[in-house]
Amino acid sequence: MPAFRLHYFDSRGRAEIARLMFNAAGQEFDDVRYSKEEWPAFKPKTPLGQLPVLEVDGELYAESGAIFNYLARELGFYGNGNIEALQIDIVIGIAKDFYPNLLKVFYTQEEQAKKELIQKLVTEDATQFFTKYEQLLKDNGSSYFVGNGLTLADIVVYDVIEYLLPLRADILEPFPLLQANRKTVESNPRIAAYLKTRK
């Protein structure tokens, strides 16, 4: 297995899916975190002037989506065969469609506008998002999105929901299969150990 170093800011953000996979696999990696003051010195060394960057045996690679897909294949979280990989990509594609709704809330500064966006996010947007996922879980007949084991699909959805729960604690109440999926991810012994100690 290659030597891995994950470079990101001192936050969860776009690196957290990779951290979850590393921990779920029991794969050692260096979790390199940069403060705002340290980032400008490292930025010129990165392939595209942005983070996260995955270092594999000394080579630096950019783009979070490409990093996640690579790690999922390398660490065994991309399913069994091309059809399961396709199903995983469908789950990830739904999440990508949802991310702009989160970003609007994050980047909106005006207080009233932000409140309105949050209200729309946790009612209309999240309901559409979760309804699709509830159906996929029902179709799979398992507490996992694809097959009968943990994949990148489960980890991506787990991470997205992390951003929504602080906005509305009972947001998953109408979605029992999503609740079960989340509990299944958290019950993974290595992920459970990581969640107890993560920042």
The domain ranges of the chain are 4-76, 82-188
**Confidence (pLDDT) at 1:** 80
Helices (H), 108-151: 111-120, 126-140
Farthest-apart Cα atoms in the chain, separation: 50
Q: Which CATH superfamily is domain 4-76 in?
A: Glutaredoxin (3.40.30.10)
In angstroms, the CA 195 to CA 159 distance is 12
pLDDT at 96 over 90: yes
Q: H/E element holding 70?
A: helix 64-75
Instruction: Collapse the DSSP code of 146 into the 3-class scheme (helix H, G, I; strand E, B; otherwise coil) and give the result.
Output: coil
Average pLDDT over residues 149-173: 96
Average model confidence (pLDDT) across the chain: 96
* Reported pTM: 0.94
**Confidence (pLDDT) at 135:** 98
pLDDT at 51 over 90: yes
Confidence of residue 20 (pLDDT cuts 50, 70, 90): very high
CA dihedral sign of residues 185, 149, 17, 194: positive
Residue ranges of E strands in the chain: 4-9, 30-34, 53-56, 59-62
**Confidence (pLDDT) at 106:** 86
Average pLDDT over residues 78-93: 97
- Span 82-188: which CATH code? 1.20.1050.10
**Confidence (pLDDT) at 73:** 98
**Confidence (pLDDT) at 49:** 97
Average pLDDT over residues 120-140: 96
Q: Which residue has the higher pLDDT, 199 or 96?
A: 96
pLDDT at 199 over 90: no
Q: Which residue has the higher pLDDT, 85 or 1?
A: 85
Which residue is listed with tokens 């942005």?
50
Average pLDDT over residues 22-51: 97
Nearest Cα residue to 132 out of 103, 101, 99, 98:
98
Domains 4-76 and 82-188 equal at CATH topology level: no
Nearest Cα residue to 26 out of 189, 197, 155:
189
In angstroms, the CA 108 to CA 104 distance is 6
Copy the structure tokens of residue 140: 């799979």
Copy the structure tokens of residue 45: 């060394």
**Confidence (pLDDT) at 147:** 96
Average pLDDT over residues 34-62: 97
In angstroms, the CA 27 to CA 85 distance is 21
- Burial letters for 143-160: b for 16+ Cβ neighbours within 10 Å, e otherwise? bbbbbeebbbbbbbbbbb
152 with 88: CB under 8 angstroms?
Answer: yes
Q: What percentage of the chain carries pLDDT values higher than 90?
A: 96
21 with 155: CB under 8 angstroms?
Answer: yes
